[in-house]
A and B are shown apart, each in its own frame.
Chain A
Amino acid sequence: MSGKLAISLVVNGERRELLAEPREQLADLLRGSLMLTGTHLGCEQGVCGACTVDIDGAPARSCITHAGSCDGATVRTIEGFADDAVMADLREAFAREHALQCGYCTPGMLIAARDIVLRLPDADEARVREELSGNLCRCTGYRGIVRAVLAVLARRRATLSS
């Protein structure tokens, strides 16, 4: 249809000037134009959570967020958390608790988990399960994932109180 949209984004700390099709969703821009393929696409309907990225500091579904509406935004994908302390704790806990198997849900799961840890420092198991209900894992099961998030929460509470 009409021409391409010029989009200016900060992605994982770097400013990027991009051209997108008007109909392009953010996930396709990240994966197709920037080769940031850590953002996975499952349902493309907002349900599964695999495509969850951080937009302006809050997790969002990149499969149902237009690239155009992100012009001027700051986006962080799973590739952008290498030096993030909370994510480092979560990665370690996910490995220890067997919270991933095929890894398809993991990028979205980690970004949602980081949001839980930072936003709800007092969350108990029921709350963690409720908050993770928007991220579907089809192979590992949720026990390990929930244990990993709870372990990071407990460790942070212990560090803060000591």
Chain B
Amino acid sequence: MKPAAFAYVRPKDWPRALQLVAEGARAGAGTQSLGPLLNLRLAQPGTIVDLRHLPGFSGISQRGGGVRIGAGTTHAAIEDGAVPGRTGEIMAAVARRIAYRPVRNRGTIGGSLAHADPAGDWVAVLPALGATAIALGPGGERRIPAVRFVSGIFETALGADELLCAIEVPVLPAEARWGHWKFCRKPGEFSKATACVLSVPAHPPRAVLAALDAPPLVVEDASALLADPATEAPHIVAHIAELTELTDWRRALAETALRRAVAAAVGS
């Protein structure tokens, strides 16, 4: 199918883009999620604001203990090593398994997070890494911890007059241990259950369980899970089962994903 008619605007600066969004226009970045929604007419916005040409929309800069990633940085750039250090290594491996290369060449990290698909990869991984979303509104920038950014299914903490302009990720030490497991029946397909575990020396390990038709569940201190995954994984899955109905097979996938993420983190 073809999209319903809309107006297309390509602003040159952020204030104009913000103004259009405040007036109700829909942001477009890589359009790798929005495009299918438009073609299927599941989305019928009056106006699309193309963010791709805004200054600083993509690119990486290091600031103190964090790396600032422009919201428009593509999955492919991250796959190819745009983010430095141990954090970049982890993110490159995640990016490589998002969709397919031609989709990754246009799809952006900010678009993924703002889209807030419960099965989206960055939706699970950014909270696990301890990232911060940087929103830009009429009053300037606002920092939102990634663990609180996705507030529901396709819902975020962004205000109606805000855009996501960047994501800041911590510079992880070389010893940081990472485990990530997602269940896809085919490479590049959306996950049916995703688990991530990050363990950094001198900090409690963090775990995230996602892709279960609910916002990601963040376990800020996952020490018990790492000590005894067989006992603890079902407890974590039970928390998600309070929010959304899980079939037995989905529950089994979720528990297995957690156990495998722990095994990968302990072994890495």
Contact = CB atoms under 8 A, between A and B. Distances in A.
B7 A1 contact: yes
Contacts of B52: 69
B188 A64 contact: no
Interface string A19-46: 0011101001000000000000000111
B5 A21 contact: yes
Interface string A39-63: 0000011100100100100111101
Contacts of B38: 23
B5 A23 contact: yes
B100 A49 contact: yes
Contact of A46 (B46, B101, B103): B103
B3 A23 contact: yes
B39 A45 contact: yes
B28 A64 contact: no
A89 interface: no
Interface stretch (A98-106, A126-134, A149-157): A126-134
B239 interface: no
A63 B34 CA distance: 12
Interface in B183-206: 186-188
B40 interface: yes
A76 interface: no
A134 B101 contact: yes
Given A45-B39, A61-B106, A115-B101, A2 B7 contact: yes
A45 B35 CA distance: 7
A60 B76 CA distance: 11
Contacts of B50: 66, 68-69
Interface string B66-99: 0000000000100000000000000000000001
Interface string B23-59: 0000010011011101110000010101010000000
Main secondary structure of the interface of B (DSSP, over half): loop
A133 B8 contact: no
A141 B126 CA distance: 37
Given A23-B6, A64-B31, A64-B36, A133 B102 contact: no
A45 B31 contact: no
Categorize the interface residue count of chain A: 20 to 34
Nearest to B103: A46
Contacts of B34: 64
Nearest to B1: A44
B250 interface: no
Given A69-B50, A112-B101, A134 B4 contact: no
Interface string A106-121: 0000001001000000
Interface residues of B, number: 33
Contacts of B99: 46, 134
B63 interface: no
A65 B33 CA distance: 10
Nearest to A5: B8
A45 B10 contact: no
B12 to A, nearest CB: 13
A71 interface: yes
Interface of B: 1-8, 10, 28, 31-32, 34-36, 38-40, 46, 48, 50, 52, 76, 99-103, 105-106, 186-188
Given A45-B39, A60-B106, A131-B100, 8 more contacts: A1-B6, A5-B8, A22-B7, A60-B105, A66-B8, A71-B10, A130-B187, A133-B187
27 contacts: A22-B5, A22-B6, A22-B7, A22-B8, A25-B3, A44-B39, A46-B35, A46-B36, A46-B99, A49-B102, A55-B106, A59-B105, A60-B102, A60-B106, A61-B35, A61-B103, A64-B32, A64-B36, A65-B35, A66-B35, A69-B31, A112-B101, A115-B102, A131-B101, A133-B188, A134-B100, A134-B101
Interface of A: 1-2, 5, 21-23, 25, 28, 44-46, 49, 52, 55, 58-61, 63-66, 68-69, 71, 112, 115, 130-131, 133-135
